[in-house]
Amino acid sequence: MDAIVIALMAAMAVLIIRKPRDPHIWYLWGISLVLVVGWWMFHEVFTPGVTEVTL
Amino acid sequence: MSLQIPRSVQRDLSLAGYWGAVVFVFAFCVVLLCAFLLQFASSELPCVLCMLQRMAMIFTCMGPVYIISRTAHGEMSVTNFARGYGYTLIGAVIGMLMSLRQLTNRGAPLDPGYGSAVLGLHAYTWAFVTFAIVVLWSGVNMLFAVELSPPRQLPLGVVPKLVLGLFLALIAANVVSVFFEVGFHWKLPHVPTRYELLYDLGIK
């Protein structure tokens, strides 16, 4: 999943550099934003240890 | 509202706005390179939150990349300049919250922290510092967007081209690196200790 999100950002970077007026940039940006925050929240809820304070 | 400044100074400020975006991307390329240095030289594999912070760094850089690209295509305007730093600000706030999360996870007394310290601070603390600087940087650029907005068109010079190339190469390197670390699993383990892809293939 992490690789997919970064690959999506790579696609967005290439599109921004080649065609900065392309409206698809908005979609890619929005999807990336949702995926990054969503993936973080997924870990917060479902990955044991991430939310724990270690002593 | 805009400041009354001489035309020659205005031209210099416009160029400063453009080069500020180039320096921004280069600075984050250096940060990402340092992260790779820690990963490969010290064999410290990035954890879940470390990887998410790298994503936020890449996400944050999209704004200045947008500004450089729009200028190269002859489409720069104050709106596009402010929009670019709007992209950046959102990415930086998310990254700052992520690094703050890791800081509070590891902030308990006697906790040695995750990974080794660089100049006395752990990588996630440095990440927090860089994101905080980006928030301030974006604020200043948006505040003076009229003055700092680059000229409508500037040819893409050698240095910006190299910086953009380095940025793209680093994103690609992160895709490969995280794929090696996750392997054919859906997510990273909480504390990664090996490259799952190599382990699953029986190579290491």
pLDDT in tens, B96-105: 999 988 888 7
Query: Does the CB of A34 have a partner CB in chain B at under 8 Å?
Result: no
Cβ-defined contact of A7 to B70 (cutoff 8 Å): no
Taking contacts as CB-CB distances below 8 angstroms, the residues of chain B near A2 are: 51, 55, 178, 182, 187-188
pLDDT at A52: 54
Considering only CB atoms, A54 lies closest to which of B58, B108, B167, namely B108
Cβ–Cβ < 8 Å for B149, B141: no
Nearest CA of chain B to the CA of A39: how many Å?
Answer: 8
Average pLDDT for chain B:
87
Average pLDDT over residues A19-44: 89
Cβ-defined contact of B111 to A55 (cutoff 8 Å): yes
Delimit the domains of chain B by residue range: 7-166
Query: Does the CB of B104 have a partner CB in chain A at under 8 Å?
Result: yes
Query: Does the CB of A14 have a partner CB in chain B at under 8 Å?
Result: yes
Would you call B45 helix, strand, or coil by DSSP?
Answer: coil
Number of C-beta neighbours around residue B117 at 10 A: 12
Average pLDDT for chain A:
84
Query: Does the CB of B22 have a partner CB in chain A at under 8 Å?
Result: no
Per-residue pLDDT at B50 exceeds 70 = yes
Per-residue pLDDT at A55 exceeds 50 = no
pLDDT at B103: 83
pLDDT at B112: 64
Give the Cα separation of B163 and B158 in Å (integer): 9
Would you call B118 helix, strand, or coil by DSSP?
Answer: strand
Which of A15, A16, A51, A52 to substitute to test the interface with B, most B CBs within 10 Å? Answer: A16
Query: Does the CB of A32 have a partner CB in chain B at under 8 Å?
Result: yes
Taking contacts as CB-CB distances below 8 angstroms, the residues of chain A near B90 are: 33
Cβ-defined contact of B62 to A13 (cutoff 8 Å): yes
Average pLDDT over residues B147-161: 86
Per-residue pLDDT at B71 exceeds 70 = yes
Least confident of B1-10, B16-25, B125-134: B1-10
pLDDT at B109: 61
Per-residue pLDDT at B166 exceeds 90 = yes
pLDDT at B1: 59
Say which residue the tokens 């906790």 belong to.
Answer: B111
Which residue has better confidence, A19 or B4? A19
Cβ-defined contact of B190 to A49 (cutoff 8 Å): yes
Q: Give me the amino acid identity at B134.
A: V
Tell me the CB-side half-sphere exposure of residue B123, using CA atoms within 13 A. Answer: 24
Taking contacts as CB-CB distances below 8 angstroms, the residues of chain B near A8 are: none
* Residue B164, CA distances (Å) to B29, B47, B68, B167 in order: 9, 27, 9, 5
